[in-house]
Amino acid sequence: MEKKVLASELALAMGVLCNAIAVSLMIKSELGVSTITSVPVVLNELFARVTIGSWNFLFQVVLVLIMALFTRKFLGYVFSILLALLFGYLLDFFELLFSGIATNIPLRIVFFY
C-alpha cells in the first residue's frame, strides 16, 4: 500500500510541475491561455507588482473557498490550497526562468504547442 501512495504522490507532483511549465510557456507565447489562467494573467497585466504566481494562488484560493462554502467541507480542501501555493511558486519560477528567451513568431508557436 505504501508503494502505491508514494507513486501517486510522485505522479501528482510531476503533474503540477508539467502544468506550471505548460502555463508559463503559453503565457510566454502570448497566443492565449486556458480559461482558468486568463483571470490571473489579466490581473497581472493590471497590477504588475503582484506576480502571476501570486495572482494564480489568490484566484485558486477564492475558487476553493467558494467550493468549500457550497459543499460545507472546509477541511477537505486544505490540500488543494497547498497545491495552489506550490503551483503559484512553480509558475513564478518558470516565468523567471523563461523571461530571458526571445520570442519571435516561430518560437511563440512552439511555446504555444
Tens digit of pLDDT for each residue in 23-67? Answer: 988 888 878 788 888 899 999 999 989 999 999 999 999 999 999
In the predicted model, is pLDDT for residue 5 greater than 80?
A: no
Q: Phi and psi for 32 in degrees, rounded to 5?
A: 125, 155
**pLDDT for the residue numbered 91:** 94
**pLDDT for the residue numbered 78:** 86
Residue of 57, 55, 53, 40 lying closest to 97 (CA atoms):
53
Average pLDDT score over residue span 2-19? 82
In the predicted model, is pLDDT for residue 8 greater than 70?
A: yes
**pLDDT for the residue numbered 106:** 78
Rounded to an integer, what distance in angstroms lies between the CA atom of residue 105 and that of residue 97?
Answer: 20
Residue of 18, 31, 29, 27 lying closest to 95 (CA atoms):
27
Q: Considering its fold, how many domains does the chain have in total?
A: 1
In tens, the pLDDT along 72-111 reads 888 878 888 999 999 999 999 999 988 877 777 777 777 7
Task: Kindly report the pTM of this predicted structure.
Answer: 0.83
**Structural domain for 105, as ranges:** 2-112
Burial class (CB within 10 angstroms; exposed 0-12, middle 13-18, buried 19+) of 16: middle
**pLDDT for the residue numbered 39:** 92
**Average pLDDT of the chain, as a whole number:** 86
Tell me the one-letter amino acid at 92. Answer: D
